[in-house]
Structure 1
Amino acid sequence: MGHQELYWSRPRKFGRGSRSCRVCSNQHGLIRKYGLSKCSQCFRQYAKDIGFIKLNLMIFLQRIIQGIYPMKNHDTFLYIK
């Protein structure tokens, strides 16, 4: 048995080898959260088209303090004034 017969001989039904990016078929840096199945490079390229926004943590915390975004505390939403 040579290298060609053994290289891709076992079936890839689960694990990292079975998943790839749906855009470029890359297997590295795969983002599977929310069913994206995109590599990190393709995600950065298409994030705005999908609807993701880049959020600065300091601006987000300032808006929470101003009461623009709700803060979840147990089962109720608290708006800080």
Structure 2
Amino acid sequence: MTYVVTENCIKCKYMDCVEVCPVDCFYVGENFLVINPDECIDCGVCEPECPAEAIFPDSDDRATAWAERNRDLAKIWPNITRKG
């Protein structure tokens, strides 16, 4: 299992989740973030830190439509390790 960033992140960019991630698995695009599911260790510390409530475990139905999008975009977007 991994975590997935969903549509509530679009134009949010608080990035509090990025600061707490122990494995730096967040990637940044022009107007939202994604999680690389191959790097996520399923620790869950990012989920409660997200003020936009945009992060869900991939087992949650709200994440289903966004799981593959996170994987694909993480391959082409730059990694982010600190709030921008």
Same fold (TM over 0.5): no
Structure with more of its chain in strand, by fraction: 2
* Bigger Cα Rg: 1
Query: Normalized against structure 1, the TM-score is what?
Result: 0.20
Q: Work out which structure has the larger RCO, using CA pairs closer than 8 Å and 6 or more positions apart in sequence.
A: 2
Please identify which structure carries the higher helix content. 1
TM-score normalised by structure 2 residue count: 0.19
